[in-house]
Amino acid sequence: MELVIGTKRWSTWSLRPWLVLRKAGVEFTETLVNLRQGEATQGQIAPHSPFGQVPVLKDGDLLIWDSLAICEYVAERFPDARLWPEEPAARAQARAASALMHSGFSALRAACPMVLDRAPAPIEVTDALAGDLKRLADLWDLMLDRHGGPFLAGSWSIADAFFTPVASRLRTYELALTDFGGGPAADAYGARLLEDADFLVWEAAAQAAPAEA
Ligand SMILES: N[C@@H](CCC(=O)N[C@@H](CS)C(=O)NCC(=O)O)C(=O)O
């Protein structure tokens, strides 16, 4: 398998399926595209996908061009990796949380881009951002409480891959969910995601890369 990804310091979408492939223990090659270079970026993506975005997974002649679809595919192809929880209620909520991240939290995404090599510094919290942070705190508290942690739906799942970039945003912009109605378990969960051994490998590569990669 080949995973085509974007610049590691910025590409939250690429980080998710990369983590999932690592957790599944799948052998894969990585092809890096330099983001934020306009036509040059598109020129690098074009040989891999007609849809102009990364991540893209290639498995033989099969092309999958969306991060959530890639994660679902890996879960189906490698069922022993248990990338979704076995228990139906936990699985349903893990999927719902992933879907919420995939299509929501737009204020958080816009105000707090992932920049893995940036020193932490606070930002101004607008009403829209505060609303997303409250939603995030509610979601994490609800799931950690119901499934008992240490991850969102019990043991590590695709949902945790989806929220690892969020945890990095909270750290970079010095945002504590306890300031937005969350319990201490929510902030502890975010910190836990950033201690993950695979995430640390990604982060080290992001920080070691030259500024344009
Ligand atoms: N919904 C897509 C979003 C992917 C996406 O937005 N990718 C961005 C990079 S993180 C991209 O490829 N941008 C192309 C460009 O900047 O030219 C997914 O989940 O895979």
Residues 23 and 74: beta-carbon distance below 8 Å:
no
**Pair 117, 107 in one domain:** yes
CATH of the domain at 45: 3.40.30.10
pLDDT score for 209 = 86
Nearest atom in ligand 1 to 10's CA: 10
CB 35 less than 6 A from any atom of ligand 1: yes
Q: Is the CB of 13 under 6 A from ligand 1?
A: yes
- Structural domain count, the chain: 2
Same domain, 148 and 192: yes
Segments forming the whole domain that contains residue 35: 2-81+198-208
CATH code: domain of residue 159: 1.20.1050.10
Same domain, 93 and 64: no
Per DSSP, the three-state class of 150 is coil
pLDDT mean over 33-49: 97
Rounded Cα distance, 96 and 100, in Å: 6
Through-space distance between the first and last CA atoms of the chain, rounded to whole angstroms: 22
Q: What is the mean pLDDT of the chain?
A: 97
Q: 213 in a domain, yes or no?
A: no
What is the pLDDT averaged over residues 90-109? 98
pLDDT at 136 over 90: yes
Query: Is 34 close to ligand 1, i.e. is its CB under 6 Å away?
Result: no
Q: Is the CB of 85 under 6 A from ligand 1?
A: no
Kindly report whether the global pTM for this prediction surpasses the value 0.95. Answer: yes
Q: 104 and 74 in one domain?
A: no
